[in-house]
Every structure is written in structure tokens, then in C-alpha cells.
Chain A
Amino acid sequence: MNKEYLRDEMLRMSGVNPKKCMKCGKCSATCPAYDEMEYHPHQFVSMVEKGDIEPLMKSESLYRCLTCFACVDRCPRGVEPAKLIEAVRLSVIRQQGANRLKADDVPAKLDDDMPQQAIVSAFRKYSK
């Protein structure tokens, strides 16, 4: 896919300007899911800026982001990396047949105490 197109699409969806990044790495320093991620928040910012988005789309990292907004709040430049991750993730699951979580898979993952909130949130994050 065309790099510029993909990048512009991500920027439009997220409303993020990755050029504001000063590459301090505080987003990745603050990320609670860092060790579970192949690409880290600061890499999302720099790779999206370069249009290097396809590797991100294929990465499991998309589903490890907890949407806790710590990177958004602590970024000294107001870059908001979580919004970029969300944009890339959405652009994947919006593709046909790309749902990560299917209704049939849910029962196996449930336990008695799991709140509804967990299920609906996971659906929002993993499926379209």
C-alpha cells in the first residue's frame, strides 16, 4: 500500500501530529505493556511519521496497548501516542474478516467473576 496514503490516513484518524515528537522516549518509559510489545509507543510515533505502517499493522503490539493514556498524559510535547496505536489498530480490524475476537471464542475465556465491562471492552478493542 502507498506509504503516504497510509500515513495521512493514520494522522487524519488520530488527529496526532508525530512531528511534535522530540524523541525523549517518555511514552515508552511510562508504558505498562512495554515488555509485551514488539513495537513500543515511541516506535509507533516515529514509524507512522515515516509511513512505515505495514509492520505495525501486522504486529501483536496493537492488541497489547491497554489504552491507559499514560503515554498521552506524560508526553512532554503533547504527541498522544495512544491515539496513533488506536488508529493503526482500527485500520486493521476494519478490514473484512480481520476481527481478532469472534463471538464464538468468548465463552472459553470467561470466568464467573469476569465483569461485563471486560467483555464489551475487549470486543470494542479487538473486533468490528
Chain B
Amino acid sequence: MKFSYFPGCTLKNKAKDLDIYARRSAEVLGITLEEIENWQCCGGVFSTAKDEVATKLSSVRALKEAKSKDQPLVSVCSACHNVIKQTNHAIQTDKEFADKVNRYMAEEPYNGETQVYHYLEMLRDVAGFDAVKAKVVNPLKGKKIAAYYGCLLLRPNSVMKMDDPENPKIMEDLIKAMGADAVVYANRNECCGGYVSFESPELAKKKSLAVVENAKAAGAEMIITACPLCKYNLIKNGADIPVVYFTELLAEALGVKEDTNE
């Protein structure tokens, strides 16, 4: 199956791992990711203001491109996924907003037709975790891994609809499919401090540490995440267990991590 793929700015720079391993893993699973041509940065955060239009156009263009190819749109970065999915939802539900947006769209209007997936949803709903399990060549036996969702993947739930926002299990199911033990801890859906680390690092530090401590107390030896900013915050603020992208772990389990002939 083919997906339109929106990598996002960070994945082309500081979070290359997140991108490369996502592509390789998808290939193993028989999924083709076609990078959207001339994609533009999603902006990192979605503004909930109804009259904020210009900042959402890059997402709309990506969505529209996917529509023109009749493909669903997938992204790996939590932030990109959140912005694109919320934008799509706004177009579907707020007619005034859709009208404004379409004034910027040449020819064909876009009305929210594209299906938006996060890479994890693609694994669960399209490939299937059973298929992932079947392709695992290096089972991560005995590893105690804590999934860190942060806020952007799950919330607002009325739009994201990925999983139960208070007791998600999509990443835990992936961890199990890769042969490792999933560590469940309450702070896995709490905020790391996000972009506020830019302005008030102390706040980010407090929040990040609360996540790491809670994961460790539950027995975690490693934390996985889908968000470059989460990973940055956790590591910068003193996580003393490894924090890696889930795609890196997936590539390892699928046996394509060391293949560097990109």
C-alpha cells in the first residue's frame, strides 16, 4: 500500500533517525512511503483560533497533494501529525474556516477528504501488529520499555482519536509485538514541557523529570517516543535511561537498523 509521507522539518535535521528508520521499517512491512513534494513546515503547533488561517495552509497543501494522489497521509513526528490532523478536522467541521482556506487553494478546493494517519496507526490499522510481530528478526527479549506518548499524539482526543487518551496502548502493543516488555506508567501521557523549554527551561525540566522518574519507578530501562521535542526535553533534563525514537527500535527488531546504504 502507498502512503503520502510528510516528514517535517525536524526529521530532515535533528531527528534524522526518526525518519530513516521509519522509511526502512515501512519497506520491510510492504508499505511504500512517497514523500510529498515541496512540503512545507507544519509550524509545530496548531492554533485553535478559528480565524487563524495562514499558519495552517502548509498542512492543507500537504493534505491536498495526498488527495490528488488518492493516498492517505502519514507522518511520524507527533507534532506534524497533530497539526495536520487538527487542520483536517477544522476543514471538515468548520465551514467558514474551509471557505477561507480554499481562497488560497488554486483550482480544486480541498474539503478534508484525505485520511490522516500517524505512523503508529498505520502499523496498527494497515500493517497490523501481528504482521509486525511476524517480521521481527531480532526480538527485543527481556527489555523493559516504557512508551512515552506526551500530549500531541493523543490530545485533543475528540480530534486525534488514536487511542484512549488516559490509558493508551498502541505503543505498548508495538513494544510487545517487538518482543519486549511494555512498562505502563501513569505519566506517559503527561506533557514534557514542550516548546516552553525555549523560554522557561526550569518548567520543562520539572515536567520531563516527572515523566522519567515515574517510568523508572515502574521499572523502565528505556523510553521510546515519537516526538523530537519530547526526546530532547527528556534527555536534556537528565534522563538517565536511554530515550530513543520508536522507529529506531522498530528498525532494530526488524533487522534493518544497521543497513546504512541510504
* A and B touch in their complex, CB below 8 angstroms: yes
| Binary CB contact string for chain B from 119 to 150 against chain A (1 if under 8 A, 0 otherwise) | 00000000000000000000000000000001
Query: In the complex where A72-B155, A114-B14, A115-B228 touch, is A64 in contact with B195 (Cβ < 8 A)?
Result: no
**Would you call B49 and A120 a contact (CB within 8 A)?**
no
Question: A residues 33-92 with Cβ under 8 Å of B?
Answer: 33, 36, 63-64, 66-70, 72-73, 80, 82-83, 86-87, 90
Q: Which of A83, A118, A126 contacts B48 (CB 8 A)?
A: A83
- In the complex, which range does the number of interface residues on chain B fall in? 35 or more
Chain A positions within 8 Å of B156 at CB level: 69, 72-73, 80
How far is it, in angstroms, between the C-alpha of A119 and the C-alpha of B165 when the chains are bound? 27
Q: Which of B50, B200, B235 contacts A15 (CB 8 A)?
A: B50
Main secondary structure of the interface of A (DSSP, over half): helix
Chain B positions within 8 Å of A116 at CB level: 9-10, 13-14, 41
Say if the beta carbon of B255 comes within 8 Å of chain A: no
How far is it, in angstroms, between the C-alpha of A67 and the C-alpha of B156 when the chains are bound? 10
**Would you call B51 and A13 a contact (CB within 8 A)?**
yes
A-B Cβ contacts below 8 A, count: 136
| Binary CB contact string for chain B from 16 to 42 against chain A (1 if under 8 A, 0 otherwise) | 000000000000000000000000010
Chain B positions within 8 Å of A36 at CB level: 200, 203
How far is it, in angstroms, between the C-alpha of A95 and the C-alpha of B158 when the chains are bound? 32
How far is it, in angstroms, between the C-alpha of A109 and the C-alpha of B3 when the chains are bound? 37
Interface stretch among B65-73, B105-113, B186-194, B214-222?
A: B186-194
The minimal Cβ–Cβ distance linking B198 to chain A, given in whole angstroms, is 4
Of chain B, the residue at the smallest CB distance from A67 is B45
Chain A positions within 8 Å of B195 at CB level: 66, 117-118, 121-122, 125
| Binary CB contact string for chain A from 102 to 128 against chain B (1 if under 8 A, 0 otherwise) | 000000010101111111111111100
How far is it, in angstroms, between the C-alpha of A30 and the C-alpha of B194 when the chains are bound? 16
Q: Which of A72, A90, A109, A117 contacts B79 (CB 8 A)?
A: A117
How far is it, in angstroms, between the C-alpha of A15 and the C-alpha of B97 when the chains are bound? 12
**Would you call B77 and A14 a contact (CB within 8 A)?**
no
Q: Which of B52, B191, B236 contacts A90 (CB 8 A)?
A: B52
**Would you call B198 and A119 a contact (CB within 8 A)?**
yes
How far is it, in angstroms, between the C-alpha of A63 and the C-alpha of B196 when the chains are bound? 8
Q: Which of B8, B13, B55, B191 contacts A68 (CB 8 A)?
A: B191
| Binary CB contact string for chain A from 12 to 24 against chain B (1 if under 8 A, 0 otherwise) | 1111000000000
Query: In the complex where A66-B151, A73-B156 touch, is A122 in contact with B198 (Cβ < 8 A)?
Result: yes
**Would you call B151 and A69 a contact (CB within 8 A)?**
yes
**Would you call A13 and B50 a contact (CB within 8 A)?**
yes
Most buried by B among A12, A69, A80, A119: A69
**Would you call B199 and A122 a contact (CB within 8 A)?**
yes
Chain A positions within 8 Å of B50 at CB level: 12-15
**Would you call B229 and A115 a contact (CB within 8 A)?**
yes
Chain A positions within 8 Å of B179 at CB level: none
How far is it, in angstroms, between the C-alpha of A33 and the C-alpha of B195 when the chains are bound? 12
Chain A positions within 8 Å of B203 at CB level: 33, 36, 64
**Would you call B155 and A69 a contact (CB within 8 A)?**
yes
Chain A positions within 8 Å of B52 at CB level: 90
**Would you call A125 and B155 a contact (CB within 8 A)?**
no
Q: Which of B15, B157, B193, B207 contacts A73 (CB 8 A)?
A: B157
Q: Please list 14 pairs of residues, one from A and one from B, whose beta carbons are closer than 8 Å in the complex, sorted by A's number.
A: A13-B50, A32-B190, A36-B200, A66-B191, A68-B191, A73-B157, A73-B165, A86-B49, A113-B14, A115-B10, A117-B195, A118-B44, A121-B79, A124-B44
Give me the interface of A with B, judged by CB distance under 8 Å.
12-15, 32-33, 36, 63-64, 66-70, 72-73, 80, 82-83, 86-87, 90, 101, 109, 111, 113-126
